[in-house]
């Protein structure tokens, strides 16, 4: 049951997150609902899968898309900030590639409106893979199996099955968008009350009662709005203030209201995606919950409640369709 204190806190947090960003109103208070695997696995998805794991898409033949989006890490990376082909660390911790169809914009600061734009930027800047689109096309065109797969995947299009930048992008994105990860919690939402443990059920109740759901909601349990990091108490970054990544969306928009504003991450598979936060500074999920309660909700949670919320978050672990995993 929600007591008066919890209800008041929920109202305060909800009001604050709707006020803090001009983008929030378009994606507010979406109910948490179940997700499913794709109804059909298509040739284009399977072509995208091959490309996603192919290290020939990198200059030194050592890096693939899966290098930063590892399936045993919930579609994320074990590194705080992955080292790019340039030898420099990325600006942010890798976000999960899973369930991105449910995300409102992509990237920690929402700088990409679609997966297509994100992929184009990644290749054109040549920081991660070190190859241009033309060089990638040339490499793939020498592979007879790829020629066959592209023909199968794109024969119905106006351009036929040629191996082009547009077709490579489309195949990769089609695969990425298919990486949904239904979990035991989804079964619970669909009516199977035995699908998750009693501890997880209590954790979900606390998750709602404390107001976590005001930001982490919708099918992806997050990912669909922007929020300031440090609503009730200012959050101090773990690294030097000279690293401007702590300013969040401000670095993209230049608007004062966006200082330390980030896209709220999805909590699906969160128990697997350590390290956490935009800077990858926290490795322990319990610590993250404690910090979020303090800075976003103005509350101090007991170890018992933290353990229950962790049990709920663990019930969100899932994997993509068997035909789409490595």
Domain ranges of the chain: 4-36+182-322, 43-177
Q: Nearest to residue 166, comparing CAs of 184, 179, 177, 153?
A: 153
Per-residue pLDDT tens for 22-70? 444 344 457 899 999 999 999 999 999 999 999 999 998 988 999 889 9
CA dist., res. 127 & res. 121, Å (int)? 10
Architecture of domain 43-177 in this structure: Orthogonal Bundle (1.10)
Low-confidence ranges of the chain (pLDDT < 50): 1-2, 4, 6-7, 10-28
Q: Does the 4-36+182-322 domain belong in CATH 1.10.760.10?
A: yes
Q: Are 162 and 249 in contact (CB under 8 A)?
A: no
Give the model's pLDDT for residue 112: 87
CATH topology match: 4-36+182-322 vs 43-177:
yes
Q: Are 187 and 195 in contact (CB under 8 A)?
A: yes
CA dist., res. 229 & res. 294, Å (int)? 11
Helix orientation angle between 133-141 and 115-125, rounded to the nearest 10 degrees: 90
């Amino acid at each position: 049951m929600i007591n008066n204190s919890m209800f008041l806190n929920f109202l305060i947090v909800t009001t604050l997150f709707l006020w803090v960003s001009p983008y929030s109103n378009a994606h507010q208070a979406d109910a948490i609902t179940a997700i499913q695997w794709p109804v059909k696995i298509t040739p284009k998805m399977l072509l995208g899968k091959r490309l996603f794991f192919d290290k020939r898409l990198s200059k030194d033949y050592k890096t693939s898309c899966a290098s930063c989006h590892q399936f045993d890490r919930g579609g994320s990376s074990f590194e705080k900030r992955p080292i790019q082909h340039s030898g420099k660390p990325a600006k942010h911790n890798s976000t999960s590639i899973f369930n991105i169809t449910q995300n409102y914009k992509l990237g920690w600061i929402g700088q990409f409106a679609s997966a297509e734009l994100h992929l184009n930027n990644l290749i054109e800047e040549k920081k991660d893979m070190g190859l241009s689109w033309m060089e990638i096309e040339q490499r793939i065109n020498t592979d007879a199996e790829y020629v066959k797969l592209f023909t199968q995947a794109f024969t119905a299009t106006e351009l036929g099955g040629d191996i082009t930048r547009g077709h490579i992008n489309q195949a990769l994105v089609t695969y990425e968008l298919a990486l949904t990860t239904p979990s035991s919690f989804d079964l619970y939402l669909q009516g199977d009350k035995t699908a998750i443990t009693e501890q997880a059920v209590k954790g979900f109740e606390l998750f709602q009662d404390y107001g976590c759901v005001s930001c982490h909601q919708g099918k992806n349990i997050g990912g669909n709005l922007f929020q300031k990091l440090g609503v009730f108490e200012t959050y101090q970054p773990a690294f030097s203030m000279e690293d401007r990544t702590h300013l969040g969306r401000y670095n993209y928009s230049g608007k004062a209201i966006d200082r330390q504003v980030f896209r709220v991450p999805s909590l699906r598979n969160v128990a697997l995606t350590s390290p956490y936060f935009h800077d990858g500074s926290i490795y322990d999920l319990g610590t993250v919950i404690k910090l979020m309660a303090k800075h976003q909700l103005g509350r101090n949670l007991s170890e018992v409640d933290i353990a229950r919320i962790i049990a709920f978050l663990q019930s969100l672990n899932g994997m993509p369709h068997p035909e789409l995993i490595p």
